[in-house]
């Protein structure tokens, strides 16, 4: 420490005392600087003193070198540091070329950080107001008894000022004794900037790791990461390296290249590598300017159960529990409840959670956590306690998850003590102990194998076990074979084994056969064939026959269009014949008009080419339809809050029509409609040639201007010019560069695309 103080005092003495004595002998020259034998674009002022070169901190920063941690030399109000201040560094001076070559260890170079977390800058498309109606209509006829029934499901929605309201209903037995059941009525407001959604009305609570989601009516406020779909919630792998020379780096995830970046010399860090969840490996292949290659590999494991550092996730609900959902439309518990869940990523290696529930005399609170086990998997755990009027109890839960290309494992265990019961469980009892285990084993070209086991224990009842296994394998030139087995024992006993063969018959058609056997020695034989409708619309069909205790046959034909899906099906069960008619679609109210559509489950847009019918419209480069007589087309199933690319085909526009943009990228709000307009200029264009008074064509480069406007039209070879939107009697002024001349359009304009009006003589303007 004393030596360091003496060293600092010495430099201070040199700076403030000695400096005036050598100021007369110093000089500053400009030098081109090369770093580690690589040319740079840095031209630096270099101060020479006692055969030592000094440069400013700004020069070090331009060269991406860390500024030396030592006292500076002051000269003409600037601070200089020795060019070789870092240990082991050296430089060579070429006076003739006015150049300096600096050699320095890469550990003194500033680190380069590469991040792939940049989100596309997309402004939300504005939605004024509108609405939609989804319908699923059904009518059935049965020969035995001679009767028919009709009904349907409906969803009515509206959107305005960032709010979306929906109400869904079911109508049963519409022909007689009609029964109407309201399912859900909800108003939603998304706040994308905060990644938060507010819900008023019917909703489903968030149960967290150990709780149970319940239906309720009331208010919910919670995180909604879908409002920022490009925001990565879980930790992603990051790794570091060192490049001795300028290089390029290829990033591969599971042997698939994701991106390539240029690297300057020095240390580097790559963050936010785009990966798929589960286990994998990230590889960086670094190639320098000399062709040398360095490979850096790192295994990783990431999961949606984890939150990246300092990311919050929450949901708070209050209201009244929903009862008899699907059978009673307005049946709610008369006792209010509250539940809340909060998750926080303390770091990339631990995510904490707290969850609380309050309802009448019941209160419950618990904590949970999730942590990665290196690159192997994720461990989760939870502890909770509940208190009720007649006692209380506790809950302990632990789980493990590994999703990988080799073997996937999911395991969990749960133990309830005392009088612990799950939230909202009235008719169903909570198990006192429960374990779940699932294995997935890919076998390469030999197929895929999976198996699961579930165990549940209840007080006063026999234990329940459910074991299932499935195996599937592709058979070359034939199809795919699948085997499944399910067995329950303990409180219930049953076994079902099935074998299925699916054979593709074409791009949209396939056939399958299934044989199923159960413990009671009943066999079910099924054969079917189907042709799927094209994505852009068309006919589809399906036929099926089965035999068990009875023989059943069924045939269905459907037609899909941009207005919806209609189908008719005929079935025969022994001597009973049934006919079913079904229509599924939607109706949108947007842009002051009404549009028939397929079912509207997501956002939608109206592509508008005003006054231009039969123009082809594309969504993500796929044809979705043509505009109607008014130039409009509804596009359904847009992705909310994401970039959606919509375009038109300019070849479908009239010859004299011009459009500035043929594509547009929009980000609509959740279940809202937007208008994407492609304005078309249909002004007429005429062709003519301009000649001077001596009969020679006006030289190229001259410009013509209609006397009633300011737009200039360039004149090309032979004096030819295209005038847009002229009128009979218009005066045309021509600027030849040497002066102005003019003429009058005194001929009728033919009603044809770009007529040729012939030659006109341009006479000098009299000043």
Q: Establish if 636 belongs to a structural domain.
A: yes
664 and 755 housed in the same domain:
no
Residue 654's CATH number: 2.60.40.2610
Indicate the residue among 276, 302, 328 that finishes a domain.
Answer: 302
CB 278 within 8 A of CB 261: no
Q: What is the pLDDT of residue 9?
A: 45
644 and 713 housed in the same domain:
no
What pairs with residue 235 in β-bridges?
none
N-terminal to C-terminal alpha carbon distance within the chain = 92
CA separation for the pair 722, 663 (Å, rounded): 27
Characterize the bridge pairing of strands 362-372 and 378-388.
antiparallel
Helix (H, G, I), strand (E, B) or coil at 68: coil
What pairs with residue 374 in β-bridges?
none
Q: Establish if 533 belongs to a structural domain.
A: no
Q: Establish if 664 belongs to a structural domain.
A: yes
Q: Average pLDDT of each block of 10 consecutive residues along the chain (767 residues)?
A: 44 41 62 86 87 89 88 85 90 88 88 72 78 95 82 95 94 83 96 95 93 94 93 86 83 85 84 85 86 86 92 96 89 93 94 94 93 93 89 92 92 91 69 94 92 90 91 93 92 89 93 89 88 88 87 92 93 86 94 90 93 92 90 92 93 80 92 91 84 90 81 90 86 88 88 85 78
Structure tokens at 409: 């494992």
Structure tokens at 674: 């937007």
Residue 96's CATH number: 3.10.20.410
CB 680 within 8 A of CB 653: yes
Helix (H, G, I), strand (E, B) or coil at 57: helix
CB 180 within 8 A of CB 194: no
7 and 71 housed in the same domain:
yes
Q: Establish if 358 belongs to a structural domain.
A: no
628 and 690 housed in the same domain:
no
Task: Count other Cβ atoms within 10 Å, centred on residue 678.
Answer: 24
Residues present in the chain in total: 767
Structure tokens at 569: 């099906």
Q: Establish if 621 belongs to a structural domain.
A: yes
Q: Which residues contact 651 (CB under 8 A, 6 or more apart)?
A: none
Q: Which residues contact 543 (CB under 8 A, 6 or more apart)?
A: 528, 529, 530, 554, 555, 556
Count of structural domains, the chain: 4
pTM: 0.79
657 and 753 housed in the same domain:
no
What pairs with residue 339 in β-bridges?
317, 357
101 and 25 housed in the same domain:
yes
651 and 671 housed in the same domain:
yes
700 and 758 housed in the same domain:
yes
Q: What phi and psi values does residue 4 have, to the nearest 5 degrees?
A: -65, -40
Q: Which residues contact 20 (CB under 8 A, 6 or more apart)?
A: none
Residue 180: which of 334, 333, 332, 330 has the closest Cα?
330
Indicate the residue among 681, 707, 722 that finishes a domain.
Answer: 681
690 and 728 housed in the same domain:
yes
Quick one: residue 57, left, alpha or beta (phi over 0 = left, psi -120 to 50 = alpha)? alpha
CA separation for the pair 287, 248 (Å, rounded): 5
Range of the domain at 709: 685-764
Indicate the residue among 664, 681, 698 that finishes a domain.
Answer: 681
Residue 245's CATH number: 2.60.40.3110
The answer to whether the peptide bond before residue 145 is cis (omega within 30 degrees of 0) is: yes
Q: Establish if 641 belongs to a structural domain.
A: yes
Q: Establish if 376 belongs to a structural domain.
A: no
Q: Establish if 47 belongs to a structural domain.
A: yes
CB 376 within 8 A of CB 300: no
CB 451 within 8 A of CB 469: yes
640 and 700 housed in the same domain:
no
669 and 747 housed in the same domain:
no
Q: What is the pLDDT of residue 298?
A: 87
DSSP assignment letter at 534: P
CA separation for the pair 341, 320 (Å, rounded): 17
CA separation for the pair 16, 18 (Å, rounded): 6
CA separation for the pair 446, 725 (Å, rounded): 70
Residue 708's CATH number: 2.60.40.2070
Query: What per-residue string of b and e applies to 362-371 under the rule 16 or more CB within 10 Å gives b?
Result: bebebebbbb
648 and 724 housed in the same domain:
no
């Amino acid at each position: 420490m004393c030596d360091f103080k003496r060293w600092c005092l010495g430099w201070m003495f040199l700076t403030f005392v000695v400096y005036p004595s050598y100021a007369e002998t110093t000089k500053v020259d400009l030098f081109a600087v090369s770093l580690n034998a690589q040319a740079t674009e840095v031209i630096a002022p270099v101060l020479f003193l006692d055969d030592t070169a000094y440069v400013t901190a700004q020069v070090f920063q331009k060269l991406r070198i860390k500024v030396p941690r030592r006292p500076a030399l002051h000269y003409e109000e600037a601070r200089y540091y020795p060019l070789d201040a870092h240990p082991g560094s050296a430089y060579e001076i070429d006076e003739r070329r006015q150049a300096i070559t600096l050699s320095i260890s890469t550990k003194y170079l500033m680190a380069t950080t590469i991040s792939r977390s940049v989100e596309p800058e997309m402004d939300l498309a504005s939605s004024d107001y509108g609405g939609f109606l989804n319908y699923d209509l059904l009518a059935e006829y049965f020969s035995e008894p001679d009767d028919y029934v009709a009904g349907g499901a409906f969803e009515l929605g509206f959107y305005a000022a960032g709010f979306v309201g929906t109400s869904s209903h079911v109508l049963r037995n519409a022909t007689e004794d009609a029964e109407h059941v309201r399912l859900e009525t909800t108003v939603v407001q998304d706040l994308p900037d905060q990644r938060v959604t507010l819900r008023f009305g019917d909703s489903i609570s968030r149960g967290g790791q150990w709780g149970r989601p319940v239906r309720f009516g009331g208010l919910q406020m919670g995180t909604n990461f879908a409002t920022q779909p490009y925001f990565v919630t879980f930790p992603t792998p990051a790794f570091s390296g060192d490049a001795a020379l300028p290089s390029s780096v290829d990033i591969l995830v599971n042997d698939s290249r994701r991106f390539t970046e240029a690297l300057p010399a020095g240390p580097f860090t790559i963050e936010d590598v785009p990966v798929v969840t589960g286990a994998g490996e990230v590889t960086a292949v670094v190639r320098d300017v000399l062709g040398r290659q360095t490979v850096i590999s790192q295994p990783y494991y990431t999961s949606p159960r984890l939150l990246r550092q300092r990311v919050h996730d929450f949901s708070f609900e209050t209201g009244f529990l929903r009862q008899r959902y699907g059978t009673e439309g307005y049946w709610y518990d008369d006792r209010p409840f509250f539940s809340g869940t909060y998750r926080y990523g303390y770091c990339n290696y631990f995510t904490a959670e707290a969850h609380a529930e309050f309802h009448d005399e019941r209160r419950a609170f618990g904590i949970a956590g999730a942590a990665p086990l290196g690159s192997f998997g994720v461990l989760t755990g939870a502890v909770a306690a509940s208190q009720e009027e007649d006692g209380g109890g506790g809950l302990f839960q632990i789980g493990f998850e590994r999703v990988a290309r080799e073997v996937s494992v999911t395991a969990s265990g749960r133990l309830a003590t005392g009088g612990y019961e799950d939230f909202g469980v009235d008719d169903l009892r909570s198990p006192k102990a429960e374990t779940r285990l699932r294995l997935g084993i890919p076998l390469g070209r030999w197929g895929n194998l999976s198996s699961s086991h579930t165990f549940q224990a209840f007080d006063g009842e026999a234990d329940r076990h459910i074991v299932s296994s499935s195996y599937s394998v592709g058979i070359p030139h034939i199809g795919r074979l699948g085997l499944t087995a399910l067995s329950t024992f303990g409180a219930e006993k049953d076994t079902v084994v099935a074998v299925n063969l699916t054979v593709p018959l074409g791009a949209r058609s396939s056939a399958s056969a299934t044989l199923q056997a159960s413990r009671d020695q009943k066999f079910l034989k099924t054969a079917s064939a189907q042709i799927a409708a094209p994505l852009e619309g068309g006919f589809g069909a399906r036929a099926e026959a089965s035999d068990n205790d009875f023989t059943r046959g069924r045939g269905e034909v459907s037609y899909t269009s941009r207005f919806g899906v209609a189908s008719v099906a005929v079935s025969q069960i022994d001597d009973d014949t049934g006919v079913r008619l079904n229509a599924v679609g939607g109706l949108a109210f947007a842009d002051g008009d009404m549009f028939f559509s397929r079912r509207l489950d997501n956002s939608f847009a109206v592509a508008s080419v005003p006054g231009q019918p039969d123009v082809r419209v594309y969504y993500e480069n796929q044809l979705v339809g043509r505009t109607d007589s008014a130039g409009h087309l509804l596009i359904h199933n847009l992705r909310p809050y994401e970039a959606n690319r919509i375009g038109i085909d300019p070849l479908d526009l009239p010859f004299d029509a011009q459009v500035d943009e043929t594509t547009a990228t929009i980000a609509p709000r959740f279940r809202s409609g937007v208008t994407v307009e492609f304005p078309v200029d249909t002004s007429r264009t005429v062709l003519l040639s301009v000649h001077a008074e001596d009969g020679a064509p006006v030289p190229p480069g001259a410009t013509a201007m209609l006397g009633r406007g300011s737009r200039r039209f360039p004149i090309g070879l032979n004096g030819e010019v295209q005038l847009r939107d002229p009128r009979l009697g218009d005066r045309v002024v021509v600027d030849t560069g040497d002066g102005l001349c003019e003429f009058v359009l005194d001929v009728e304009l033919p009603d044809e695309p770009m007529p040729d009006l012939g030659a006109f003589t341009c006479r000098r303007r009299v000043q």
